[in-house]
Amino acid sequence: MYKQMQERYSKTTASMQHSFIREILKVTKGVPGMISFAGGLPSPESFPKILLAELFSKVIKQEGDDVLQYGASDGDLVFKHIIKDFEEVPYLSDDEIMITVGSTNGIYYFTRALIDPGDVIICEAPGFPGSLAAMESCGARVVGVEMDEYGMLPDGLRETIKALMKKDEQVKFVYLIPEFQNPSGRTMNCDRRRDIIKIAVEFDLPILEDQPYRELRFEGDRISTLWELARTEFNDPTLVTIAKSFSKILGPGLRLGFAAGPPEIITPMVKWAQKSTVSPDCVTQRVSARFIEQGHMQRQIQNIIDLYRPRRDAMIKALKTHMPESVRWTNPQGGMFIWVTFDEAVDTDDLFELAVKHKVAFIPGSKFYPKENIKKNELRLNFSYADPELIEEGISRLANLL
């Protein structure tokens, strides 16, 4: 007679998918001898513990009355101003930037601001499942567009938009990770970014640009973000909203990121923050502000680059040494991931089962695709977490299974 709790769930809750990646991480975590390229974790060696320990102590002693108190939902004003300086965007007004509880939080609020159940978001295929899950939890239908080595294909984007509009689908925005993309490691060059912006303007579609890895560039010239290009070359300060993260440059446990965009987007995002978290952690915000203000961030970023570049090099070298000739992989200029493509005959879901038995792990490519158009002959390798010697050994183990 009484209802089961599950019968009470909201529709979005009842339809939530299980996270396969979390299952995979559980299977591989803590297994003795396991070499895991599966997670997307920064190396603990990169955490600036001594500096942070000092700063937390100092900030609480000196500014504790302020930062232990309730703070603004759009974030600590001190932190916002220091971020504007650090990002070299001093002209931004305070209502064009908000601090978020990590960048996924910004992506969630952006989606909440715009998406009604059934609305469509266009993303890269393959794309980042964490973001796609956040979007789908708001009832969005996520549609993928194929990529080449420079990211999302402009023709693919145009055709996808046209086909959706023809079916009267409410396409709400385009979501992209243009640099060292998760999972593919690919980076959009400047021309591709312009092409994508032109299409967004043509079809009057906002862009959400996710940039968690931008600072982790090991070589090559820095490329303007879509957010910058839209403002400068297209004279359009409302088209692109950018989400950034401190997870990859300071420590993901601190849960800090920020979003910058037009006030018409940031304002409703802040309203969602009020209702959901009230504000990010105020102590952590101020500590991060002082960390940047005191000039530690540039050195910190360089330290991470010096740590990760040899790991990427070791992985690329090991792939060259051990993989059969038919196998291809991306050669990212930064970030944390390499994308490997096998013959069509290879099924990386099967390969994963085998690999775990041989104590090497990765994420099968199928986990990164929206429900349609899943490809099975790809996989993601993370190179930021394991030591170079383990990277060599792990890739060798993997190649032996093919």
How far is CA 391 from each of CA 33, 242, 380, 394, rounded to the nearest angstrom? 13, 33, 14, 5
Q: Answer yes or no: are the C-beta atoms of 114 and 173 closer than 8 Å.
A: yes
| Cβ neighbours for 276, distance < 8 A, ≥ 6 positions apart | 109
Look up residue 76 and give its amino acid.
D
Exposure string of 280-299, with b = 16+ CB inside 10 Å and e = fewer, is: bbbbbbbbbbbbbeeebbee
Six-digit token string for 14: 């009842």
d(CA 157, CA 159): 6
End-to-end CA distance of the chain: 55
The binder of a copy of itself chosen from 108, 128, 213, 329 (CB under 8 A): 108
68: contact with a copy of itself by CB under 8 A:
yes
The binder of a copy of itself chosen from 27, 34, 89, 133 (CB under 8 A): 133
The count of chain residues that interact with a copy of itself, using the rule CB under 8 A, is 79
112: contact with a copy of itself by CB under 8 A:
yes
Place of tokens 């060696």: 45
The binder of a copy of itself chosen from 15, 19, 189, 294 (CB under 8 A): 19
237: contact with a copy of itself by CB under 8 A:
no
Q: Which residues, 250 to 309, sit near a copy of itself by CB under 8 A? A: 250-255, 262, 264-265, 268, 271-272, 274-284
Q: Which is nearer to a copy of itself, 254 or 319 (CB)?
A: 254
> Would you give the DSSP letter of residue 234?
S
Q: Which is nearer to a copy of itself, 141 or 172 (CB)?
A: 172
Q: What is the number of other CB atoms lying within 10 angstroms of the CB of residue 80?
A: 21
Q: Could you tell me the smallest distance in angstroms from the CB atom of residue 357 to a copy of itself? A: 26
130: contact with a copy of itself by CB under 8 A:
yes
Q: Could you tell me the smallest distance in angstroms from the CB atom of residue 321 to a copy of itself? A: 31
238: contact with a copy of itself by CB under 8 A:
yes
74: contact with a copy of itself by CB under 8 A:
no
The binder of a copy of itself chosen from 102, 126, 364, 394 (CB under 8 A): 102
d(CA 141, CA 136): 6
70: contact with a copy of itself by CB under 8 A:
yes
234: contact with a copy of itself by CB under 8 A:
no
How far is CA 21 from each of CA 79, 365, 385, rounded to the nearest angstrom? 33, 11, 17
Q: Which residues, 378 to 397, sit near a copy of itself by CB under 8 A? A: none
Q: Which is nearer to a copy of itself, 8 or 167 (CB)?
A: 8
Q: Which residues, 38 to 57, sit near a copy of itself by CB under 8 A? A: 41-42, 44, 47, 49-50, 52-54, 56-57
d(CA 79, CA 59): 13
Q: Which string of x and - marks every residue 186-225 that binds a copy of itself (by CB under 8 A)?
A: ------------------x-x-------------------
Place of tokens 């969630």: 108
